[in-house]
Amino acid sequence: MKTVYAIPNCNTVKKALDWLQKNKIAYEFHDYKKKGITATVLTNWCKQVGWETLVNKKGATWRQLTPDIQASISTQKAAIALMMEKTSIIKRPLIEENGKILALGFDETDYKKALK
């Protein structure tokens, strides 16, 4: 079973969920706000795509950080601590199955290749 890691009120996530439903792809939804995320899961993801890819530096959560905090996020360890504290900073949605990332963000072309 695929798991969609995200927050429900994100427009990108809504587009992705609509696409999954339209294409009859079953999934479980993991709400970061309610369930959080573990360092173990984040470390696994970092091994697959790198922490720089997981930290969404284009979003409001990143922009709200002070320049000092932004500058301090220069290692995987620091990034994981930040992602655990502020889950909204994780690029979303992240779709995983059996510990393997299938998709990150929403791109219909990528979804057609990775999820069908």
Instruction: Please check whether residue 55 is in contact with residue 62, taking contact to mean a CB–CB distance below 8 angstroms.
Output: yes
b/e per residue 74-101 (b: at least 16 CB within 10 A): eebeebbebbbebbbbbbbbbbbeeeeb
Residue 54 neighbours by CB distance under 10 Å: 22
In this structure, what is the dihedral angle of CA atoms 19, 22, 25, 28, given to the nearest 10 degrees?
A: 70
Among residues 3, 7, 10, 81, which one is catalytic? 10
46 catalytic residue (yes or no): no
Radius of gyration of the chain (CA): 14
Residues marked active site are found at 10
